[in-house]
């Protein structure tokens, strides 16, 4: 999955730990 997070504006690789 290479989608971006609208809230953090980071890639899933960056916030994969915070994904809910």
Q: pTM value?
A: 0.10
DSSP SS3 for 8: coil
For residue 20, pLDDT beyond 60: no
What pLDDT sits at residue 5?
A: 62
Res 11: pLDDT: 67
For 17, phi and psi rounded to 5 degrees? Answer: -80, -25
Structural element, H or E, at residue 15: helix 12-15
Please write the tens of the pLDDT for every residue from 2-19: 565 666 666 666 666 665
Tell me how far apart the alpha carbons of residues 9 and 15 are, in angstroms, rounded to a whole number: 10
**CA angle in degrees (0–180, nearest 5) for 1-14-20:** 70
In whole angstroms, give the CA distance from residue 14 to residue 9. 10
On the question of pLDDT at 1 being above 60, the answer is no
């Amino acid at each position: 999955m290479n989608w971006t997070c609208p809230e953090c504006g980071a890639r899933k690789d960056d916030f994969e730990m915070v994904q809910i």
